[in-house]
């Protein structure tokens, strides 16, 4: 059962969404993608529903940090510049998501552009050898960055799959930096519906990620120094679903991690919708569902804007159409039975978006998977263990090393 007692950790905001976002960004500090003091100072005192102040706090912090990075770069201090550009990209990434609750979306495009520019500036000053790659995908390409370690190479390459709305700076903090320290090559990329593919090209999500991770594997194994038998894949947040789904059909990855395990993406949507409306959807009464949802959204403009922002990556305009589309992002029992890749599944206490699903995925893949629990007593509760990324890296990469050695 989900655990709901979090009295052992401080509350950073009276708004649960803000509080979780702050926790996530604070956790990035373990890899230099945030700084505790500046984050807490910037977000202190923001009222529970002051969405403009929330956006302004992150945008202002990002601008200030970017200015610091530029000054360091201009003075030839490349290590300092890299760190500040990385933090700035993290902060702009939060600001991008904060636009969802604002009265208009004018700030979205320029804020995302600054997020991307500061990420590229980090790449330019990064101490790791890094190569920009274009992964052939259907009739176009997916952009990515291939990092090589500065320590003795392990021979392993890690493909990292993002969630629904994370930035590449957040991926660096959640997994890439820790993998590089252990000698692994790392590929970060934007898949359909993610980051540049959504905001620059309006390409939506797709549920069948074997059609993404297969071309990714095909391309990455052509790069110098990549052993085709030692390529692993790591999916974070909603990426946990995409990786699990892909593994049912793509069996060439040597090992995989889902952080956490996800088998039904729609649960994080339907648990926010009244049961009476879910019943209408189940009965196929889409017109009534859309009508009642519209009435509810008129009473809460901020919620309506957030819905629109969250629905955009699915490429669907209507309320019923969106939820029915999200419901197709489900791993069936039959598909799970096809997974043969060694799989590690993280299971944090108090998982608030997909409670119970890590255990369900483990049950469906018994004999193939390993379930790793994270607890509130360890400070490792909540979705993706936001304040315990160091502990997460230790458990995940120790398991991965054991699998591939």
Report pLDDT for 5. 44
The pLDDT tens digits of the residues spanning 192-232 come to 999 999 999 999 999 999 999 999 999 999 999 999 999 99
Specify the length of the chain in residues.
405
Helices (H), 283-370: 286-299, 301-311, 319-326, 333-336, 357-364
Q: Say how far apart CA 118 and CA 84 lie, in whole Å.
A: 9
The pLDDT tens digits of the residues spanning 157-206 come to 999 999 999 999 999 999 999 999 999 999 999 999 999 999 999 999 99
The C-alpha torsion from 136 through 138 and 143 to 149, rounded to 10°, is -50
CATH fold, domain 13-127, is de novo design (two linked rop proteins) (1.20.1440)
**What token pair was written down for 182?**
């252990």
Q: Which residues pair with 159 in a beta bridge?
A: 187, 233
The pLDDT tens digits of the residues spanning 84-95 come to 999 999 999 999
Q: What is the mean pLDDT of residues 346-360?
A: 98
- Torsion-angle region of 45 (φ positive above 0: left; ψ -120 to 50: alpha; else: beta): left
The pLDDT tens digits of the residues spanning 21-64 come to 999 999 999 999 999 999 999 999 999 999 999 999 999 999 99
CATH fold, domain 128-265+329-405, is Rossmann fold (3.40.50)
Report pLDDT for 8. 60
Report pLDDT for 9. 75
Question: Contact 336/361 with Cβ under 8 angstroms?
Answer: yes
- Torsion-angle region of 319 (φ positive above 0: left; ψ -120 to 50: alpha; else: beta): alpha
Residues 6+ apart with CB under 8 A from 273: 293, 323
The domain spans of the chain are 13-127, 128-265+329-405, 269-314
Report pLDDT for 38. 98
Residues 6+ apart with CB under 8 A from 276: none
Report pLDDT for 10. 87
In 3-state terms, what secondary structure has residue 180?
helix
Comparing 2 with 310, which gets the higher pLDDT?
310
The pLDDT tens digits of the residues spanning 72-115 come to 999 999 999 999 999 999 999 999 999 999 988 999 999 999 99
Question: Contact 47/18 with Cβ under 8 angstroms?
Answer: no
Mean per-residue pLDDT over the chain, rounded: 96
């Amino acid at each position: 059962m989900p655990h709901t007692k979090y009295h052992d950790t401080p509350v950073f905001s009276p708004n649960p969404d803000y509080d979780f976002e702050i926790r996530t960004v604070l956790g990035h500090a373990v890899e230099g993608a945030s700084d505790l003091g500046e984050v807490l100072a910037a977000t202190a005192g923001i009222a529970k529903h002051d969405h403009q102040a929330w956006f302004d706090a992150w945008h202002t912090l990002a601008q200030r940090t970017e200015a610091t990075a530029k000054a360091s770069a201009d003075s030839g201090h490349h290590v300092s510049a890299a760190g500040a550009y990385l933090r700035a990209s993290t902060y702009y990434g939060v600001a991008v998501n904060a636009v969802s609750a604002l009265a208009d979306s004018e700030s979205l495009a320029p804020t995302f552009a600054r997020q991307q520019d500061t990420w590229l500036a980090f790449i330019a000053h990064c101490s790791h050898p890094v190569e920009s790659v274009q992964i052939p995908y259907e009739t176009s390409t997916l952009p990515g960055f291939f990092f090589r370690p500065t320590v003795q190479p392990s021979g392993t390459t890690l493909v990292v799959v993002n969630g629904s709305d994370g930035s590449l700076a957040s991926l660096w903090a959640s997994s890439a930096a820790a993998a590089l320290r252990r000698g692994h090559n790392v590929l970060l990329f934007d898949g359909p519906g993610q980051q540049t593919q959504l905001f620059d090209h309006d390409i939506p999500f797709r549920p069948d990620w074997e059609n993404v991770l297969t071309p990714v594997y095909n391309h990455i194994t052509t790069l110098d120094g990549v052993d085709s038998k030692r390529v692993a894949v790591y999916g974070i947040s909603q990426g946990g679903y995409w990786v699990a789904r892909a593994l049912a059909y793509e069996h060439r990855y040597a090992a995989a991690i889902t952080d956490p395990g996800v088998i039904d993406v729609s649960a994080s949507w339907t648990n926010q919708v009244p049961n009476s409306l879910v019943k209408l959807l189940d009965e196929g009464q889409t017109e009534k569902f859309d009508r009642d949802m519209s009435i509810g959204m008129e009473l809460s403009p901020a919620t309506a804007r957030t819905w629109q922002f969250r629905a955009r990556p699915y490429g669907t305009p209507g309320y019923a159409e969106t939820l029915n589309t999200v419901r197709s992002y489900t791993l069936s029992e039959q598909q799970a039975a096809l997974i043969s890749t060694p799989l590690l599944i993280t299971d944090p206490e108090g998982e608030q978006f997909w409670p119970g699903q890590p255990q369900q995925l483990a049950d469906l893949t018994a004999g193939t998977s390993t379930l790793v629990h994270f607890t509130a007593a360890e400070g490792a509760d909540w979705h993706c263990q936001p304040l315990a990324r160091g502990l997460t890296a230790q458990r995940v990469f120790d398991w991965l090393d054991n699998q591939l050695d």
